[in-house]
Structure 1
C-alpha cells in the first residue's frame, strides 16, 4: 500500500512540474498580410528551460481533419525573466525568441497545443491527442465550434478571437484564473501587467539601401538609459553577403547612463559582379532584462559591377549573335517526316524520359533569373508583356501585394493546362536533383520553363487564364513578346499529351485547349526568334536537357500548325538547314513577305525564278523582313557571305 501511494505521489509531482507551462496568448489573425501572428508561452517560474517540449498546431478544417499541420521543438530555449517565450516571425515586435516563417498560424477553427515530446512525433496529419499533452487552446475567428477537436484535446471551450469584431487587432489572452480575455495584443509582456519592465533594444540605418563602396551608419538604441555598460554584438552575414563584403567593428557598447551608440560599416567595392545582395543585421546574445524591439533586418546592397551581354533586349532585338547549343544531329530524326509522324518525332526528342529532366517549381525562380536575364544588366530580369527590366531581388516570394514585383507566368495558363504542385515543388534543390518526365507527365507542366516567363506581378494577374488574342498585352506594348508567347505555347502542346491549340477563344475554364491559333501563327511570323530567345533556349537546355524546336527551327511552326501541315519536312529545301550561317527564312510558303534571321555579317541576297532569271539582287540584306511582289510560284533565294552560300526554295502563294 505504501509503495502504491509513493508511486502515485511521484506521478503527481511529475505532472505538477510540467503543468507550470501554458499557452498565455495567441494572435492568429493580424492586419494586412498576417506577418504579426504569434504564440506566447508562460511558465510559473522565470528562465524555465523548455527542453523536451514541442508546440503543435492542429487544423480544424474539413480538409485538415483535426490533425497537425506544423510542429516546432522548444529544445534549447527557455522563458525569460517574466516566464515568457514568444513564437512568431520577424514581423512581431518585440522580436520573438523562437522564429518561425510568417503566414504559418491559421485563423481557425484550429488549435495550438504544448506536448512533452519532439516535432518528429507530430508529422503532418497526425491526429490531435491528449497523450503527453501539457496545455491546449482551441480557437476560432467567428467560426462554428469544432467539438471533435475539443474532444480530442480534452478541452470544453473554444475561444473566439473575433468576439469583439476586431480579430485582426486583438488577441486571445489567458487570465490568472485560467479563463480567457480577447483584447489588444501584448507580445512579450505578462497579460496582467506585472513583472519586470524589459528595456527594448532597437536600431536604425541612415539609408534604406546602399551601393557597394558606401558607408552604412547604424544607430543602436535602448528604450531608456542603461544602468550599466551594455555590451552587444551583431552580424551582417546573409547568404552570399559575407564578412568579405564589409569592414568595421561588429561589437559595441552603450555606456551606462545613455541609450544609444553609433556604428559605421564600410561596404566593400570588390569590382566583382556578385549580384545585388541583402545583408542582415542580427543582434547576438541579449542579456536578461532586455528584449529585441527590432532585429533580423535585411538591407539591400546594390552591386554596380553588373555585366552586359552583346545581344539585345526583345525591344531592341539582335539576330545571329547567339548560336544554338543544340547537339549535333539533335533534330536529324525529323527529316523526311510529315503530319502526325513529324509531331510525334518532335515529342520524342523534347519529352524523352531517358533524357529530359523536370525541376521543381521553386527551381524555376533560379532558372528564370538566368534564362530571362536582362542583356543590359545582369542583375535584372526582362519582363514578359510589359517589356521592361526589373531587379532580380524583387521576386514575389509571398502572398499579398505584387505591385513592383515579378513572378512566374505560365504562357499556357496553369488552370487551362491542368498543371499542379506537390510539396516537393516548394524546395529549390538545384540543377542536379530532378524528376524523370515524359509526354504524359502533364503535372510537370507547372515547372516546364520553356512555357514560363518572368512577368510583372499585376500584369500576370491581368492576363489571368485568357486566350492569346483575347489578351493582347498592356496598353502601349510594342508586341516584342508575342512571337515568344506563340512559340512557347506551341512547344507546350507538343511537349505534353492532352494539350492543344485551337482556333477561336475557348471558354477560359476549358482545360487542355488554348486559343487563338491563327493569332499565334501571325505573332510567330511577325516576331521571329531573336538572340534573347535563343539565349534562354540554351540556358533551359542546361537544366532540362531539352530545347524548344520552334526557336531553333522556326519553320517547323508551319509544318506543325501552319500552311505546310502534312507536308514532308526537308530542312535542305527550306529553313533550318544546319549550315555555318544559321540563316532562317520564314514563313514559307508566304504571300510574298518573308522574315529573315541569323545574319551575323555582310550578306548578299539574290532571288531568281526557276529558269534562273534574276528577280531581285541586294548587295546587303539584314535581319528583318523583305517583300517579293511576284506572282504565285516557286523562287530561289541565295544568301552569300564571305564564308558561306545558302540557297532556299521560296513558295509564294
Structure 2
C-alpha cells in the first residue's frame, strides 16, 4: 500500500466524518475561552496549537462559573485544579484495574484487556482497587517507558492514566517498545489472534498492530502524550495513527473513560473531546 493511497484514504474518511463534529463551543469548561475562540477563528494550528494544549493540560486551572482560567499559580481564595502527577505506580495501577476498567455482572467483577480482547475475572485477582495477577494482565504503557521525555517528570509519564491500559501479559511483552503500525506478520500466539507483530508496511521496521477496536484509542492516547510531554511521534507511526484515528472514531466507552481519568487526574484528552483537532496538527 503506497503512502499516497493511505493518505487519500485518511482524507476520505475525514471528509465523511466532518458532518458529525460538535461545535467547539460545546467543549467542556476545562478548555479556556481564549482557546475556544482561537480554534473557531482558525488561528491555532500546528506548533501554536500544541503549545496551547500543553499549557491547558499541564498548568493550574482556576474554576469559574464559565470556562476555566489557566494560570501558573492558584490565586488566593480560588478553587483550582491541576494534573495529578504524584501518584505512585502502584496507586496508578490500582486505579486503572480497580476503578477505571473495572466492570461487574452477576458473576462478579471483571475487566477487558485491550490487545487480545480477553476478559479477566475475579479468579485472576480482579476487584475493586485491586491489581490482578501479573502473569495474566499487565499495565500497558501505550507510550513506552524507554521513549519517555527525559526533560519531563518520569513519574508523571509513568503514571499518566490517559495512556495506560490493561493488556494480556504475553501481548504486552511482545509489543515491548515497538512502534504501532499495520504489519506483514503473524498473530501474537494461538490464544491472542487479535494483535499482530511483524514488519510495518512501507518500512523494514518491526512494529505492533493492535486490534481494530483499539486502534483509535491508541492513536488518541499517543497524540495526547506527545502534546502533553512535548515529545515527537515518528513519521511512519504517525501516518498509521492518523489513519486509525478516523477509522476507529471516539465512542461512548472512550468518552466515559476520559471522564473517569479526569475525575482522578484532573486533566483531559483533547483528542477525545474534539477529534477534529488532529486535522490541525501536521506533525506530532
Match status 1:448 vs 2:160: yes
> For residues 145 and 138 of structure 2, what CA distance do their matches in structure 1 show?
14
Q: Deviations over 1:74-129 (max 9, x none)?
A: xxxxxxxxxxxxxxxxxxxxxxxxxxxxxxxxxxxxxxxxxxxxxxxxxxxxxxxx
Match of 2:89, SS state, is coil
C-alpha displacement of 1:542 = 1.1
- Cross-structure match for 1:487: 220
Match of 1:348 in 2: 55
1:517, 1:445 → 2: CA distance?
A: 20
- 1:503 aligned partner: 235
Give the superposition deviation at 1:342: 1.1
1:446–1:329 CA distance, 2 compared to 1 (3 A): closer
- TM superposition shift of 1:452: 0.6
The alpha-carbon distance between structure 1 residues 349 and 418, as it changes in their structure 2 partners (threshold 3 A), is closer
| 1:470, distance to aligned residue in structure 2 (A) | 6.1
CA contact (8 A) 1:387 1:481 kept: no
- 2:109 — aligned with what? 379
Please report how far the alpha carbon of residue 328 of structure 1 lies from its aligned counterpart in structure 2 after TM superposition: 2.2
8 Å contact 1:387–1:480 — kept in the other structure?
no
Distance in 2 separating the partners of 1:417 and 1:493 = 10
In structure 1, the partner of 2:118 is: 388
CA-to-partner distance for each residue in 1:9-50, whole Å, 9 max, x for gaps? xxxxxxxxxxxxxxxxxxxxxxxxxxxxxxxxxxxxxxxxxx
Q: Which residues of structure 2 form unaligned runs of 5+?
A: 1-19, 21-25, 39-43, 61-72, 74-81, 196-210
Structure 1 counterpart of 2:93, from 340, 353, 365: 365
* Structure 2 counterpart SS, 1:409: strand
Seen in structure 2, the aligned counterparts of structure 1 residues 442 and 495 have a Cα distance that, compared at 3 Å, is farther
User: For the Cα contact (< 8 Å) 1:491–1:549, is it kept in 2?
Assistant: yes
In structure 1, C-alpha distance between the alignment counterparts of 2:105 and 2:32, rounded to whole Å = 32
Aligned counterparts, 1:269-288, within 5 A: none
Corresponding residue for residue 338 of structure 1? 45
Query: Aligned-residue CA RMSD in angstroms?
Result: 2.9
1:326 Cα deviation after fit: 7.0
> What TM-score comes out, normalization by structure 1 length?
0.29
**Inter-CA distance 454–326: structure 2 relative to 1 (3 Å threshold):** farther
Query: Matched residues in 2 for 1:550 and 1:467: separation?
Result: 20
2:115–2:194 CA contact under 8 A, matched in 1: no
State the alpha-carbon separation in 1 of the partners of residues 265 and 118 from structure 2.
26
Give the drift of 1:329: 5.3
Q: Is the 8 A contact 1:418 1:443 kept in 2?
A: no
2:111–2:120 contact (8 Å) kept in structure 1? yes
Query: Which residue is 1:413 aligned to?
Result: 144
Q: Secondary structure at the match of 2:235?
A: coil
Deviation at residue 476 of structure 1 after TM alignment: 3.8
2-structure distance, mates of 1:342, 1:375: 40
How far did 1:461 drift? 0.5
TM-aligned CA deviation for residue 396 of structure 1: 4.9
- Uncovered stretches (5+) of structure 1, i.e. residues with no partner: 1-318, 320-324, 420-438, 505-515, 566-653
Tell me the distance in 2 between the aligned counterparts of 1:459 and 1:500. 25
Deviation string 1:183-242 (CA, Å, 9 cap, x unpaired) is xxxxxxxxxxxxxxxxxxxxxxxxxxxxxxxxxxxxxxxxxxxxxxxxxxxxxxxxxxxx
Note if 1:328 corresponds to 2:3. Answer: no
Q: 1:518 aligns with which of 231, 235, 239?
A: 239
Matches within 5 A, 1:209-358: 327-328=28-29, 330-335=31-36, 336=38, 337-352=44-59, 355-358=82-85
Partner of 1:22: none
| Counterpart residue number, 2:170 | 458
More helix by share: 2
- How far did 1:348 drift? 0.8
Q: State the number of aligned residues.
A: 204
Q: Is the 8 A contact 2:163 2:222 kept in 1?
A: yes
Match of 1:500, SS state, is: coil
1:368-411 Cα offsets, whole Å, 9 max, x none, are 1222234768711121111222126254566xxx2xx1110000
Post-superposition offset of 1:557 = 1.2
Q: CA deviation at 1:366?
A: 2.0
Asked if the contact 1:333/1:345 (under 8 Å) is kept, the reply is no
Q: Is the 8 A contact 2:138 2:167 kept in 1?
A: yes
1:371–1:535 contact (8 Å) kept in structure 2:
no
Q: Deviations over 1:612-647 (max 9, x none)?
A: xxxxxxxxxxxxxxxxxxxxxxxxxxxxxxxxxxxx
